[in-house]
Amino acid sequence: MELLVASAIGILTAGGIYLMLRLRTFPVILGISLLTYAVNVFLFASGRLTTAAPPILRDDISLYADPLPQALVLTAIVISFGMTAVVVMIGLGAFLGSDDDHVDDQTALDDDPAEGAS
Amino acid sequence: MSLFILVALPFFGALLPGLMNSAGRASCAGVTFTVSLVAFLGLLTNLPAVWAGEVVTARIDWLPSLGLNFTLMLDGLGFFFALLILGIGLLIIAYARHYLSRDDNMGEFFTYLLLFQGAMVGIVLSDNILLLLVFWELTSLSSFLLIGYWKHLPEGRQGARMALTVTGMGGLAMIGGMLILGQIAGSYDLSVILQNRELIQADPLYVPALILILMGCFTKSAQFPFHFWLPHAMAAPTPVSAYLHSATMVKAGIFLMARMWPVLSGTPEWFMIVTTAGLVTMVLGAVIALFKHDLKALLAFSTVSHLGLITMLLGTGTAFGAMAAMFHILNHATFKAALFMSAGIIDHETDTRDIRRLGGLRVLMPVTFVIATLAALSMAGIPLLNGFLSKEMMLEEANHTTLFGMPLLVPVMATIGSLFSAAYCFRLIGHVFLGPVRDDYPAKPHDPGPGLWLPPAILVVLVVVIGVAPFLAEPFVKMVTASVLGGEAEVPKAYFKIWHGLVPALFMSIAAVVGGLLMMAIFNPALRFWDAAPRPEAKVIFEGIVEAAARLARGLILPLHNGAFSRYAAIGTVAIVAAGFHAWSTGTIAAPTRELQPAGPVPIAGWLMLVAATGGMVLMHRNRLLSLILIGIVGLMVSIGFVFFSAPDLAMTQFTVEVVTIILLLLALNFLPNTTPIESSVLRRVRDAGIAIAGGLAAFGLAYHYLLRDAVTTPISEFHLANSYKGGGGTNVVNVILVDFRGFDTYGEIIVLGIAALLIYALTETLLGGPVRARLLNRKPDQPRAGDMHPMMMVVLTRVIMPVVMMVGFYIFLRGHNEPGGGFIAGLIVSIGVVMQYMASGFGWTSARLKYPYHGVIGAGVLIAGLTGIGSWFVGKPFLTSDFTYVRIPPFEEFELATAALFDLGVFLAVVGAVMLSLESFSRLARRAHVPDSEHPMDIDPSRDDPQPEPANGGAS
């Protein structure tokens, strides 16, 4: 099980990084979202993996999953929605303003014209 | 008056002039004057204690762990400087009232002036050197604002920038020096540092600390080789020059040297550096001043020269030198401020400050003539005026000082400095006031009203009184000296008097005055020689250095920071992975302590779906809609994973957030191209894949390592589990943590969420207000639209389901404290219900039924959460302490009432507001893009008399 979760984190991270390195806003935003999953799952996993023991107190149960990472990740999920929305809005505004959804600056700099166009 | 009020008064007072600006110039200046006057009188209330030798203190612990405390102290030295700052400040405010023209923004000016005054009072009253540094930087900043007050003048802007650069660099150096000093002494409190002379001077870091602190002092007090900024700062309005750049700010460096005198002085290093710098500055400033044609430049260089004189006196390290320095600070402040104000009057009345265009003003401006002449003669060191007394003491001290083993060096240099000093004073009197009346002044000169000449006249009265009756000033100066010496040396017994007998200092004085007169006689040939002689221009050198530094920075930054985000991301990822690898390969790794848990077929199936979806996204990301569907699958699998690993709250949150995120991205995709073109080379894709695989492996390694080992120390989670019910009254520990244990975090998070939503709203408004709006309106959909805009089935279904959704949200909210649920999840569920109405029935229909704007909902949520937190103050508990009780209203079951539920209500509202505001902003963009909203929420409505199918907009094309 540990191997599955760890490899899922690794794969999400790899996919996220690859998409984050793309040149257009939309794949970059999706890449960041994938990275967000990876980070959230990783934070959650810092409480170690426990099955069938939700942190809801019951009289006759003494084993519970670690609640603290869950609380932190819960707010992280909601905040990441806010962040995604802002990034999407910025990307959209840039596209609508310039008809160009490149992530990198397209204006050639005086001393470095070739950069950013790769 | 408490020292806190004394320091705070100018800062708070700085708010007033701006407010009074519209009330007229007189009230604007009046309120500033009142603030300063109150502070001045408040200072005087402390005089009896200071006079008795006490040190008045006030203390608030600010950041005790860093040694940074808001401690203030008022001793003789601090009192002296505060008296100068506030006393001369009053005269300057009165003078500036009449000096500034109607075009100048007086409120702005006085705001800056009061900010400066507060910062300056803060410096001289600080008992903590870190606090002192804060005020020190504030004076640099307010000086920058004041020098550049006339923003339209390029000299003003350049001078302000130069002053800020030089004094700011000095301030940075001084921070380093002060930190070293604090480390040596073990405290940042001056009162402790001043007791540790032996410890500090014996420390190997004494010399670096000394040099760094002196850098700060020398830049601030315009000592060679940092003197060049002061003349350029003269582009400021004259009241500023008189106040900051002669009487107060430039003396801050000297103040600090005097303050640190008991611990830093007396060593060979101190003596060599300080005396040499002072001596060179004194002579150099005096020589340059003589040949300046701009009245203010002449005075500026004479200020440089006199600051050098005071520095030199402090450098000698003797008690007599310190006393002479204090006396000269007093005298210099009086005559130099009077001279600056006179120069301002001349500039104001004749429209020029060029000495070559002036002359003969004695007849035209008799009052100004008397004031300026008395002040200038005092500066020249003529008996019966106060400048003579302290200059005499300086020469006396110079006579006993041997520098570099040459006994004659200091006396001769001091005499030469005094000679040039006398010469420029005579030039000022002779070339401006004496001589024939001319007929080519730029303006017709005449004496100004008393508002302009009274302030300098008051100072000149002091010049004469102290000059004739020095015994009046003696006890005060000796009290100040005693606090400078701080018990390290005896206050000298010498009396202040005009006639000391035929001592060497008298002959040096006579030589200086006679030499000065001779210099005037040969002024014209000397000027020709001066103009012909090559000399370095400080401004050119400064600009050159600035330009070289900027070029270096550009050369470093531009290739790295070229606007290519993907490159930064790649560099950042590689750097993070490399740092992690370094830590991994050099640190110690403990053996695994946990067993691997077996995985059944269901988790493996979920894992496979997640991996397949992620892989599909990477491979097919060019088809944007497809990748959006795939990321939905990823999110779904993550939610299921949360369920599986005992996190029901997380699963519900993830699931609902997933829905709103996908809607959001779909809305965005509506405007963006549907496919991503192939632009990057194969090589680049291989490189990116390499980086991604490295990053993925690193994340995998870290997570795997982590999961197989127990925490190094006991986690605090046990506390939460144990106290959730007892202390928080809830059995859902996650929710209790959110609304109770870590409620303050949650409070911050809902605020962040609200700000993000408002940001989106603001961006939308900006877009719709700009040129983008026209583009949106004229935009042609890039693919056929659906025939039904608002399908009847969907409309009916969403409306039926709405109450159910609301009820589910309410249920989830209420049970949140004890079962999975809570404000976050309930908020998201309700948002989805509302979004469905938008989607099914259209924007116009839904907005028309919306009673409350979403901004208000966010605000109400934050407010409710905040008020709940504040509520606990009324029962004497810290912010956000929750309380709960059990009530029973027959015939219902007993149920629980917790203040945490009220807080959760705030969370709920903030989440609903933020999510809806974001989505609504996006859909408003979409709305403008189409033809106006359909009038009816349903395309086909049987209740309408004449059912008229809506034509498909643009869909038929």
Q: Is residue A8 less than 8 Å (CB to CB) from chain B?
A: yes
Name the phi and psi angles at B71, rounded to 5: -110, 135
Considering only CB atoms, A104 lies closest to which of B566, B668, B914, namely: B566
- Cβ contact B647–A103 (<8 Å): no
Q: What is the C-alpha to C-alpha distance for residues B299 and B344, in angstroms, rounded to an integer?
A: 11
Cross-chain residue pair B692–A66, CB shorter than 8 Å: no
CA distances from B212 to B204, B205, B258 (A): 14, 11, 16
Q: Chain A closest CA to B604's CA: distance in Å?
A: 8
pLDDT-above-90 percentage for chain B: 34
Residue in A46, A86, A103 closest to B566 by CB: A103
Shortest alpha-carbon distance between residue A59 and chain B (Å): 10
pLDDT digits (tens, 9 = 90+) for B872-902: 888 777 777 777 777 777 766 666 677 888 8
Name the residue of chain B whose CA is nearest to A49's CA.
B645
Any idea what DSSP says for residue B732? B
- Of B115-129, B700-714, B772-786, the range with the lowest mean pLDDT is B772-786
Is A94 an interface residue toward B (CB < 8 Å)? no
Whole-number pLDDT of residue B781: 66
Chain-chain contact of A4 with B642 (C-beta, under 8 angstroms) = no
Residue numbers in B near A108 (CB within 8 A): none
Is residue A79 domain-resident? Answer: yes
Q: List Cα–Cα distances, B268 to B222, B275, B488, in angstroms.
A: 23, 10, 17
% of chain B residues with pLDDT over 70: 95
A26 in any annotated domain: yes
Beta-carbon contacts of B498 under 8 Å, excluding residues fewer than 6 positions away, are B383, B384, B388, B389, B467, B470
Task: Tell me how close the Cα of A61 comes to any Cα of chain B, in angstroms.
Answer: 12
CA distances from B524 to B182, B284, B288, B552 (A): 54, 19, 15, 45
Distance CA B248, CA B86 (A): 10
Task: Tell if the CB–CB gap between B692 and A17 is shorter than 8 Å.
Answer: yes
Contacts of B11 (CB under 8 A, 6+ apart): B114, B115, B118
How far is Cα B160 from Cα B147, in angstroms, rounded to an integer?
5
- Answer left, alpha or beta for residue B852, where phi above 0 means left and psi between -120 and 50 means alpha: beta
Mean pLDDT of chain B: 86
Q: By the 8 A CB rule, do B506 and B500 touch? A: yes
Contact B356, B274 (CB under 8 A): no
Give the pLDDT of residue B509: 86
CATH number at residue A85: 1.10.287.3510
Contact B700 A13 (CB under 8 A): yes
Instruction: Sort out which chain B residues have CB atoms less than 8 A from A78's CB and list them.
Output: 653, 657, 749, 753, 824, 828, 911
- Contact across the interface for A78 and B654, Cβ inside 8 Å: no
**Which of B676, B688, B749 is nearest residue A21 as measured by Cβ atoms?**
B688
Q: What is the pLDDT of residues B759-786, one digit of tens each?
A: 999 999 888 888 877 777 776 666 666 6
ipTM of the complex: 0.91
Range of the domain at A21: 2-51+67-104
With CB atoms and an 8 Å threshold, state whether A84 touches B664: yes
How far apart, in whole angstroms, are the C-alpha atoms of residue B507 and residue B512?
Answer: 8
Q: Which residue of B has its CA nearest to A55?
A: B733
User: Across the interface, which of A41, A86, A109 has its CB nearest the CB of B558?
Assistant: A109
Instruction: In whole angstroms, give the CA distance from residue B728 to residue B901.
Output: 11
pLDDT at position A116: 40
CB contact under 8 A, B597 and A1: yes
Find the residue in B nearest to A109 (Cα): B562
- Chain A closest CA to B870's CA: distance in Å? 22
Alpha-carbon distance of B133 to B739, in angstroms, equals 41
Q: Does A32 touch chain B (CB under 8 A)?
A: no
Using CA coordinates, name the residue in chain A closest to B633. A34
State the best of B620, B645, B663 to mutate against chain A, taking most chain A CBs within 10 Å.
Answer: B645
Verify whether the Cβ–Cβ distance B634 to A37 is below 8 Å.
yes
Inside any domain, residue A113: no
Tens digit of each residue's pLDDT (9 = 90 or more) over A47-83: 888 888 888 888 888 888 889 999 999 989 989 999 9
The size of chain A, in residues, is: 118
Residue A80 lies in a domain: yes
pLDDT tens by residue, B835-860: 888 888 888 788 888 888 899 999 99
Give the C-alpha distances (Å, rounded to integers) separating B344 from B336, B347, B355: 12, 5, 13
**To which residue do tokens 């039904």 refer?**
B788
Q: Decide if B453 contacts B440 (C-beta within 8 A).
A: no
pLDDT at B363: 82
What's the confidence (pLDDT) of residue B937? 63
The per-residue pLDDT for A110 is 42
In a domain, A110, yes or no: no
Distance from CA of B348 to the nearest CA of A (A): 48
Q: Domain count of chain A?
A: 1
For residue B796, CA distances in Å to B777, B799, B836 come to: 30, 5, 11
Could you report the per-residue pLDDT of B663-695, keeping only the tens digit for each? 899 888 888 888 888 888 899 999 999 999 999
Is residue A86's pLDDT more than 50?
A: yes
B485-491, long-range: CB < 8 A, 24+ apart: B485/B261, B485/B262, B485/B319, B485/B322, B486/B194, B486/B261, B486/B262, B487/B262, B488/B197, B488/B261, B488/B262, B488/B266, B489/B318, B489/B319, B489/B322, B490/B319, B491/B319, B491/B323
Q: Which two tokens stand for residue B695?
A: 């990053």
Looking at residue B898, its pLDDT comes to 77
pLDDT at position A113, please? 40
pTM of the model: 0.69
- Is B650 within 8 Å of A44 when comparing Cβ atoms? yes
Chain B residue whose CA is closest to A12? B614
Q: What is the gyration radius of the CA atoms in chain A, in angstroms?
A: 20
Q: Report the C-alpha gap between B210 and B224 in whole angstroms.
A: 17
pLDDT of B699 reads: 94
Closest CA to B370 of B453, B286, B279: B453
| CA neighbor of B254 nearest in space, from B338, B321, B179 | B321
Q: Residue A21: inside a domain, yes or no?
A: yes
**Arithmetic mean of pLDDT over chain A:** 85
A67's CB contacts (< 8 A; 6+ apart) are A47, A55, B717, B720, B721, B724, B733, B734, B737
Question: In 3D, which of B862, B842, B852, B830 has the Cα closest to residue B756?
Answer: B862
Q: How far is CA B646 from CA A10, A66, A79, B241, B600, in A?
A: 22, 9, 22, 71, 16
Given this model, what pLDDT does residue A107 score?
A: 60
Q: Which residues pair with B294 in a beta bridge?
A: B354
B704/A19 CB distance under 8 A: no
Answer whether residue A92 is part of any domain: yes
Question: Exposed, middle or buried, B716 (CB in 10 Å: 0-12/13-18/19+)?
Answer: exposed
Residue B178: half-sphere exposure toward Cβ, Cα within 13 Å:
26
A19 with B618: Cβ contact below 8 A: yes
pLDDT tens per residue, range B731-749? 888 988 888 888 888 999 9
Residues of A in contact with B696 (CB under 8 A): 10-11, 13-15, 17
Q: How confident is the model at residue B211 (pLDDT cuts 50, 70, 90)?
A: very high
pLDDT of residue B782: 67
Which pLDDT value is given to residue B883?
Answer: 75
Determine the pLDDT at residue B949: 53
d(CA A35, nearest CA chain B) in Å: 10
pLDDT in tens, B561-591: 778 888 888 999 999 999 999 998 998 888 8
Answer for the pair B635, B658: CB distance below 8 angstroms, yes or no: yes
Instruction: Judge whether A32 lies within some domain.
Output: yes
Q: What is the mean pLDDT of residues A23-38?
A: 92
In this predicted structure, the answer to whether residue B751 has a pLDDT above a threshold of 80 is: yes
C-alpha span between B699 and B900 (Å, rounded): 37
Whether residues A78 and B657 touch (CB distance < 8 A) is answered with: yes
Check pLDDT > 90 for residue B404: no
Please tell me the distance in Å from B377's CA to the nearest CA on chain A: 59
Give the number of beta-carbon pairs within 8 Å between A and B. Answer: 337
Residue B120 has what pLDDT?
93
Of A14, A21, A103, the CB nearest to B696: A14
Q: Which residues of B touch A7 (CB under 8 A)?
A: 607, 611, 700, 704
User: And the tokens for A53?
Assistant: 């023991």
Q: How far apart are CA A39 and CA B699, in angstroms?
A: 9
Q: Which of A3, A7, A19, A21 to mutate to test the interface with B (most CBs of B within 10 A)?
A: A21
